Amino acid sequence: MRFWPARQPKAPATSGSGGAELFDEAFQKRLEYLALVSRRVFAGRTRAEQRSRKAGAGVEFADYRRYYPGDDYRQIDWNVYGRIDRLVLRLYEQEEDLSVYLLLDCSGSMAFGTPRKLDYGKQIAAALAYVALNHLDRVSVSALADVVTARMPPTRGRNRIFPIFDFLRPLQASGGTRLADAVGTFVAQNKRRGVAVLISDLYDPAGFEAALDRLRYARFEPHVVHLVDPREGVPAARGDVELIDAETGERRQATLTPRLLERYAQAYRAHQERVASACVQKQVGLFALDVRTPVEDAMLHLLRRGGLVT
């Protein structure tokens, strides 16, 4: 459960929460810089390095397979037939457009902090989308809570960043967190596999691990951008307080003693360690980002580590 003292009322996304300013001209200029950096980082790599083996004219020979009726006879290797008296097809590795799926947690706990974790997550999602679009990849964005609350179908082309801004801008932090259920819906909605980036604080009462497993079993390539606000681990309140769950609204009276606060801090650290351990065990890329870090610096870190965008 995520308890803290009653929060201030949420402002509309287009005003007090900074929704209109999240993607202002200054932010767009930073995206241009990140796109330049990404081209340098990935210089020499082929466009959309996602490859698949298909029979047909391609970039690089991969293997042979047996010919079956209905296959394209033009791909039969007659030289091999002359040697072994068996019909086989030549297989090639062909380049495909890489599909990049951005899964943004929009549950109630994402409203915490200044900047709010959700606003920070929106900017990270927009920056990742812009870099991917510049590399001619297909980009889709989904908002998750206990269900998929909104979805932008795959799009490509550099100028498509503006519809992505329009999609992200009004998203609000509300509702509970059931990442496994929401990811299950996402998997059912997207048959084309690709890179799936979960941007979340990973506060799920049922655990976040099942969501990663669903992505892995469905043959997506999962990555986690874990949004961390260290101030959550050190509550400012002391004494007798009423705690309100940010997602369920459940209320609880408590006396915050130094001993209780230390136990809370230990639980907070244990959560961070659990995230790191689970991602290592499941071989999922993990990028832990402090929301106080400027988005540009965070993205440079992601680009230099590689593996998340091409």
Does the pLDDT at position 171 exceed 90?
yes
Work out whether strand 251-256 and strand 60-66 pair parallel, antiparallel, or are unpaired.
unpaired
pLDDT digits (tens, 9 = 90+) for 98-135: 899 999 999 999 999 889 999 999 999 999 999 999 88
Confidence band, pLDDT 50/70/90 cuts, at residue 93: low
Confidence band, pLDDT 50/70/90 cuts, at residue 40: low
Residue 20 has φ and ψ, to the nearest 5°, of -70, -30
Distance CA 216, CA 230 (A): 29
% of the chain with per-residue pLDDT over 70: 81
Distance CA 261, CA 267 (A): 10
Contact between 145 and 106 (Cβ < 8 Å): yes
Work out whether strand 195-200 and strand 99-105 pair parallel, antiparallel, or are unpaired.
parallel
Does the pLDDT at position 308 exceed 80?
no
Work out whether strand 88-95 and strand 60-66 pair parallel, antiparallel, or are unpaired.
antiparallel
- Domains annotated for the chain, with CATH where assigned, are 3-44+97-305 (3.40.50.410), 51-95 (no CATH)
More confident residue, 41 or 48: 41
- Identity at 190, one-letter amino acid code: N
Q: Summarize the confidence of residues 78-95 as an average pLDDT.
A: 77
Instruction: Let me know how long the chain is.
Output: 310
16 forms beta bridges with none
Model pLDDT, residue 15: 34
Model pLDDT, residue 143: 98
